[in-house]
Amino acid sequence: MGKSTGFLEYTREVPKDREPLERIKDWKEFHLELPEEVQQIQGARCMDCGVPYCHSGMMIAGGASGCPIHNLIPEWNDMIYKGLWKEALVRLLKTNNFPEFTGRVCPAPCEGACTVGLNEPQVTIKTNECAIIDRAFKEGWITPNPPKNRTDKKIAVVGSGPAGLACAAELNKAGHHVTVYERADRIGGLLMYGIPNMKLDKIDVVQRRVDLMSAEGINFVTSTEVGKDYAVADLKADYDAVVLCCGATKPRDLPVEGRALKGVDFAIDFLSANTKSLLDSNLADGNYTSAKDKHVVIIGGGDTGTDCVATSIRHGCKSVLQLEIMPKPPATRAEGNPWPEWPKTYKLDYGQEEAVAIYGNDPRQYCTTTKKIVGDADGNVTEVHTVEIEWIADETGRMTMTEIAGTEKILPADIVLLAMGFLGPDDLLVDQLGLDRDPRSNVQADYGVYQTSADSIFAAGDVRRGQSLVVWAINEGREAARACHAYLEKNNV
């Protein structure tokens, strides 16, 4: 390393975000940037630790530890410190097709496994990554790079989220003719419609990458649902191979009394409609559910719940609460959550930070479950009835929840958003292809192989592994492309 004692000399410093009360007035990205010289010092904190768990990409205790795409983190940290930004870019792009996405929305399991993080604040890996790619675009170093030679093979990628885009990019590099099908009206999958604009700008970041890939020769087809608008028989006849990257898009429902009331919706539908209206008309068309002057209750935690908090606040909601069935995480790692596992600790994400600035408190209510939802005579939601719970270990050590008598509450609610995760892929295409499924209803295809039960059809990303991280989707999209390429070469299809 250029500065082997950097982690001893420098403290962690991340860019400031725009102030909450300022940023809630618009839908622009809220992250700011560090000055170049300060960012270079952050690169110096990488400690040449010998065994860099940051890019291990292991699964430990059910979660990712280290970077699943095995980014060469110590190398480009060192290059940042030395001011070798172009060289850092080359190393970054060897493993990551879209660092401008992961540098913004990845939860950074790399930082959770950072060796410095054993007893000091970890290296700013995510910020360093974003700084490299953002500088590269500003300097004009990122330009279309189509393959010099083309094969005669045609491949369809179904789904244009991070797995589909990564798969398409790699297959295109190999010289194949790649067509990506997307049922929405814009390319990007969850990158476009599942993540709000203030976290990931759709025009300056997502569409910029899509345009670049199009210039490299990838064909994008929107507003086309395979199996409905485009017959499966035609798909098989038209292409030498198919890679399914259509995600786990079936949201988990809440089977309680009052679920069918008007105003009770899936969080992903609420977020998607808002972003589409924002892009189509700057919200002027009204084709979204507005939380203005309404009491909003979000059932479920995680990133989707946070995004609903932030979106509702920007609408001008009267109040917002987020119900979380799990206990509040500790401030530091618990005894059973050692390094290099992902740290399950309490943090204020951007949406909760904004709620604190406006209402004075974190909107999350922990260890709370919904008993029923109540509406008025016209079928509109008006209340959410809750009760607090506690988690108790049974004789086998399994944790079960028990309601606490006397903790019942009635919360006013004009909008109720269900943000409880996803159960698996939609059935239409999977059933028409007759593919085997795993016990969780995902498409059966072994990790590292990606071949489904049908010849010439592969699966990658959430459609195969279930709801997961953007960085896992990129990992699987890249690997499935290699598997598909090897299949075509071996079988000379």
Of 3.40.50.720, 3.40.50.2300, 3.50.50.60, 3.40.50.300, the CATH number of 154-250+423-491 is: 3.50.50.60
Spans of the chain below 50 pLDDT: none
Whether the predicted model's global pTM rises above the 0.75 cut: yes
pLDDT of residue 124: 97
pLDDT of residue 63: 87
Q: Across all residues in the chain, what is the average pLDDT?
A: 96
Which residues belong to CATH 3.50.50.60 in the chain?
154-250+423-491, 253-420
pLDDT of residue 210: 98
Fold adopted by 253-420: FAD/NAD(P)-binding domain (3.50.50)
pLDDT of residue 1: 66
Asked if CATH classification 1.10.1060.10 holds for the domain at 6-139, the reply, yes or no, is yes
pLDDT of residue 62: 86
The burial of 487, by beta-carbon neighbours within 10 Å (0-12 exposed, 13-18 middle, 19 or more buried), is given as middle
The per-residue pLDDT for range 396-410, each reduced to its tens digit, is 888 999 999 999 999
